Amino acid sequence: MKILFLSQYFPPEMGAPSARVSELCRYWAEKGEEVTIVTAFPNHPTGRIFPGYEGQWFQREETDGCTVLRSWIYVTPNRGFFKRVICFLSFMVSSIWTSLFKAGKCDLVIATSPQIFCGLAGWVVSCLKRTPFV
């Protein structure tokens, strides 16, 4: 099965969302599933892109048997409602674009949503790819 997983947070970022996504995807890959993760460039919690990831719009990498597609995001420290919403919306748009034009075919779309915009992106992608959404 080809699984497409959208999550704004993924290692090397620390925290529950990135750890949960990383462990689930690694488990599925070990069981023989083809897993692609669409995520942002790491920036949490500082609001700055981590060293080695700066100055890019898109990056493909392999980790733990999974393909990781990193897409652009408007980064900001966790200060102010408006800037955070812009950050979330920027990932929503870039993750939809990355999922449609870089990720290839999938059998299932999964999105984890500490905020609603990632879930909306997953739903849009599943509708456009005509695949089930979790």
The mean pLDDT value for 59-63 works out to 97
How does pLDDT run across 4-53, given as a tens digit for each residue? 999 999 999 998 999 999 999 999 999 999 999 999 999 988 889 999 99
- pLDDT, residue 133, reads 98
How is the beta sheet containing 58-63 ordered, strand by strand?
A: 58-63, 66-71, 34-40, 2-6, 108-111
Residue 130's DSSP bridge partners are: none
Give the Cα separation of 132 and 99 in Å (integer).
14
What's the pLDDT score for residue 79?
A: 77
Average pLDDT, rounded, for the chain: 95
Question: In this predicted model, which residue has the larger pLDDT, 125 or 15?
Answer: 125
Residue 80: the pLDDT is: 85
Q: What are the structural domains of the chain?
A: 2-129 (3.40.50.2000)
Burial class (CB in 10 A: 0-12, 13-18, 19+), 64: middle
Output the pTM of the full model. Answer: 0.94
Which tens digit of pLDDT belongs to each residue from 79-117? 789 989 999 999 999 999 999 999 999 999 999 977 899
